[in-house]
Every structure is written in structure tokens, then in C-alpha cells.
Homo-oligomer: A and B are copies of this chain.
């Protein structure tokens, strides 16, 4: 049933808006409200009202608040798998693969950040088993990036970078986009994606030890 729910959500976030599948609209609205107010601050009534139903009416479509959250996160993770990880896996050159990862992930966020952002911010709202599931998939993603960085290092393009720290840092940079990017802002989505991708690659590539960035600040 989760698979079915995710399918519904996938339809919903696509271009074609709901015409028959009410469930899709519900998931999409819930994702938007969770994203804006946070999971715990969002009531079932909020979601019901947003889709023009009463609370009881909403329960015709969903099993509960936590299942709703898990379904949204599962969908977001599916999106990441399909639109970032799988395409990147088919890129053999490590640098090109890293660029693919960053650019595609960033683009996903500039296009619709709701589900992706909930995915990282509302983990503690899940049941332990569900949380373990999601965290495992996230961990796989970070490992995938770390492996790519390790491959870059083996090519000699990167010196003295810890792949795990590098992977986490790049992920942080990408995820943070959802906090500051506005579709109606000074830069459009493609420009932001390009800019962030450039920074990410630059952060990782070796520049030949011309920087003395070590430990310049001491407390006090």
C-alpha cells in the first residue's frame, strides 16, 4: 500500500494536476504544509482543510499522520534514487559523476523542495522502524558520494580530502538551498544549480596546495 501511495504522490508532483486521484492531492498538500510549518506543528485538520475535506473525510484516504509522513519521505527518497543516484551511476568518470549528482540533486530542490526537505528535517517524527529505513537509504546516498570522492582521489584530482566529510559537506550545501532559494528571486533555478555545482566541484578538486587554510582561528 505504500507503493501505491508513492505512485499517487508521484503523479501529483508531476505536471498534470489532479483530475481524479484525490490521494495525490492530499499527499502533495501535506508535503507542502509539513514543509512550511513542520510535521509536529501541522494538524490533521490543517491538511484536511487544505484539500477541502473534514478530518474524518481525510481518514478515508490516509491511515494516520505518521504513515502520511513516511509515505512522503519514501517518495522523496524514490525521487532521489531515480533522478539523481541512478542517472549518476551510469556516469563512469568520477568528476562528471559528481557534477551529475550535485546538479541533479540541486535541481530537484529548486523545482520542488517540499518532500526532499521534509526528508531531512522530520526524521524524528517517524516510527523507529520507518526511521531506520529512511536513514539507511540516506546513508547509502552519502556513501555513494563518498565513493565518488574516493575515486577522484585515486585519480589524483583530490589531495588530502576525507571522502566522508567531503560528502557530508556537499550534501549540506545542496540541502541548504531549500532554505534560501526563492523561485521569484534574483537568480532563476538553473543559475542557482549551476552556481552551486561549480562551488561543489571547486570545493573538492585539488588546487595544488596554494591555500594555507588550516586552523587560523583560536578561541579567546
Contacts and interface: CB of A to CB of B under 8 A. Distances in A.
A2 B160 CA distance: 45
How many identical chains are in the complex?
2
Given A41-B124, A169-B173, A217-B103, A211 B196 contact: no
Contacts of A190: 215
Q: Is the interface of A mostly helix, strand, loop or mixed?
A: helix
Interface in A8-52: 36-38, 40-41
Contact of A166 (B120, B177, B199): B199
Task: Determine which residue in A120, A204, A219 has the highest number of CB atoms from chain B within 10 A of its CB, and name it.
Answer: A219
Contact of A103 (B38, B164, B192, B216): B216
Nearest to A165: B195
A72 B176 CA distance: 22
A129 to B, nearest CB: 18
A83 B217 CA distance: 10
Given A202-B203, A211-B205, A213-B201, A177 B187 contact: no
A173 B169 CA distance: 5
A124 to B, nearest CB: 6
Interface string A175-214: 1110110000011001011111111111111010001011
Given A40-B40, A124-B37, A215-B103, A176 B166 contact: no
Task: Determine which residue in A193, A197, A204, A213 has the highest number of CB atoms from chain B within 10 A of its CB, and name it.
Answer: A213
A162 interface: yes
Interface of A: 36-38, 40-41, 83, 87, 96, 99-100, 103-104, 107, 120-121, 124-125, 160-162, 164-166, 168-177, 179-180, 186-187, 190, 192-205, 207, 211, 213-217, 219
